[in-house]
A and B are shown apart, each in its own frame.
Chain A
């Protein structure tokens, strides 16, 4: 039955599905994982870096994009689609600044991206964007938003998208506490730990970025990531020791 209702996107199926949108969400589930964590004074974005072929230049694969001085975006899904959306969002950030003399709020730019995605779920002959985005930034405080191919958006304290997103989200639900949120380093470590649930260990496989109030987006370099990873390893060992000692 479903095969008759997934051609032209504008058609609903009898049981109320928009199949193209759902297929787009499947495409997202195939993309590499991205995790976002919002703390009290910091927002952290972590993405899984897909292994590059031997002859490929490593640095050209950038999954965390800067939209404006105070907004950044990470995505899971079709990279080419993401490029288009990022471009449109960057233009909107500047256009907003030119007309109202104020930088965009994170909610505004998220809404803009979401509306753009929705438009493509209701247009003739076009397919939806095959990506979900995690948008972080600062206006009056730190924010983390998520959009998906259907055009909906929500604010989150911590979330994951892409491959094994469900596993990572469950991990975040278990380990995200107000205590963690209050400490910058803990937020970074939580993001890393969440990513490590689905990614092979090593600073080479993850890309991490943080944003603090009034400061530009900072990409954490792989040496620092390795330091955090070492700390996490140590904590894990200490936990294991404690458990053994209890026995």
Chain B
């Protein structure tokens, strides 16, 4: 997984300092969802979660971003990387999947959605900076999570993490994920994960957005302020 995490990020400090009148980085940096996203499968559906910080350099452009984006009624994607790139890609995937639904007369499979994402991300890999998790429920294979990191590779995983904050979560995920967890255990797992990453990653913060997707549709939750899971902080 780590092998594809090549840094495509713009450096936060971009001005050449010729004296005192250099521009602040947030005027010149690209808008990024330097982020923490996570998704996990359970029997009957998926739980997805994300933080809510969008940064332009060091300036937090949006502290209540919604990075969990709907592509169909039963399939969502978690966006990390460039905000513009991921929004554009998600909109186009939404277009394709809506058309698919009209043509086929039934909901598209999660695999189909992930495949459309992958096609866009791979064919435009040189121009895009997008790391996406596709998660949802379909009637053929139940809950599924697919990860599509930077180059456009796609693979199905029972638990997936992404974004700049995810580097701090590999240990947590490996130690705490067990196959066969219930829906509530998964909710706790994701909420804890995002919270831990927010504590360590400067590009992640704000509220924790959660969504649960099952055959009955989507249930969304927000954890704000005091509701964020707490861990040891020595002060």
Interface residues, chain A, CB within 8 Å of chain B?
66-68, 87, 90-91, 93-95, 97-98
The answer to whether B98 touches A97 (Cβ under 8 A) is yes
Asked if A91 and B99 make an inter-chain contact with CB atoms under 8 angstroms apart, the answer reads: yes
Query: Residue B105 at the A interface, CB < 8 A?
Result: yes
Decide if B102 is an interface residue (CB 8 Å cutoff).
yes
User: Is the CB–CB distance between B99 and A90 below 8 Å?
Assistant: yes
Q: Separation in Å of the B165 CB from the closest CB of chain A?
A: 30
B95 at interface, CB cutoff 8 A: yes
Contact A94 B103 (CB under 8 A): no
B residues within 8 Å of A by Cβ?
91-92, 94-96, 98-99, 102-103, 105
Contact assessment for A94 and B95 in the assembled complex, using a CB-CB cutoff below 8 Å = yes
Contacts of B105 in A (CB 8 A): 66
Query: Which interface residue of B92, B95, B96, B102 has the most chain A CB atoms within 10 A?
Result: B102
Question: Are A68 and B95 in contact (CB-based, < 8 A)?
Answer: no
CB pair B102 A68 closer than 8 Å: yes
Bound: A67/B95 CA distance, A:
13
A68-B98, A97-B98 known, 4 other contacts, Cβ within 8 Å: A66-B102, A66-B105, A94-B102, A98-B94
Count of A-B contacts judged by CB separation below 8 Å: 23
| Beta-carbon nearest neighbor of B105 in chain A | A66
Determine which of B91, B94, B103 lies in contact with A90 in the assembled complex, contact meaning CB atoms within 8 Å. B103
Q: Which label, helix, strand, loop or mixed, suits the secondary structure of the B interface?
A: helix
A16 to B42, CA, bound (A): 69
A66: chain B residues at CB < 8 Å are 102, 105
23 pairs, A vs B, C-beta closer than 8 Å? A66-B102, A66-B105, A67-B102, A68-B98, A68-B102, A87-B103, A90-B99, A90-B102, A90-B103, A91-B99, A93-B102, A94-B95, A94-B96, A94-B98, A94-B99, A94-B102, A95-B95, A97-B95, A97-B98, A98-B91, A98-B92, A98-B94, A98-B95
B102 partner residues in chain A, CB cutoff 8 A = 66-68, 90, 93-94
Distance of B25 from chain A, by nearest CB (Å) = 31
The docked-state distance in angstroms from the alpha carbon of A20 to that of B36 is: 62
Question: Smallest distance from the beta carbon of B164 to chain A beta carbons, Å?
Answer: 29
The CA of A113 and the CA of B105, in the complex, are separated in Å by: 21
Q: Which chain A residues border B103 with CB–CB below 8 Å?
A: 87, 90
In chain A, what residue has the closest Cβ to B99?
A94
A21 and B91 CA atoms in complex are apart in Å by 40
Which A residues are CB-close (under 8 A) to B94? 98
* A87 CB, min distance to chain B CBs, angstroms: 8
5 closest cross-chain pairs (CB), A and B: A98-B95, A94-B95, A94-B99, A90-B102, A94-B98
Question: Using Cβ atoms and an 8 Å threshold, which residues of chain B touch A95?
Answer: 95
A131 to B11, CA, bound (A): 59
Collect the chain A residues with CB atoms within 8 Å of residue B95's CB: 94-95, 97-98
Separation of A33 and B103 alpha carbons in the complex (Å): 24
Could you say which residues of chain A place their CB within 8 Å of the CB of B99?
A: 90-91, 94
Nearest-Cβ distance from residue B168 to partner chain A, whole angstroms: 36
Please give, as numbers and ranges, the residues of chain B lying within 8 Å of A91 by CB-CB distance: 99
The residues of A that contact B96 with a CB separation of less than 8 Å are 94
Q: How far is the CB of A86 from chain B (nearest CB, A)?
A: 9
The smallest beta-carbon distance between A158 and chain B, in angstroms, is 26
Closest Cβ–Cβ distance, residue A146 to chain B (whole Å): 21
- State how many angstroms separate the Cβ of A180 from the closest Cβ of chain B: 31
In the bound complex, residues from chain B placing their C-beta under 8 Å from that of A67 are 102
Most buried by B among A66, A91, A93, A94: A94
- Inter-chain CA distance A90–B91, complex, in Å, is 17
Q: How far is the CA of A94 from the CA of B94 in the complex (A)?
A: 9
| A72 to B: closest C-beta gap in Å | 10
State the CA gap A97–B71 with chains docked (Å).
13
CA distance A67 to B99 in the complex (A): 9
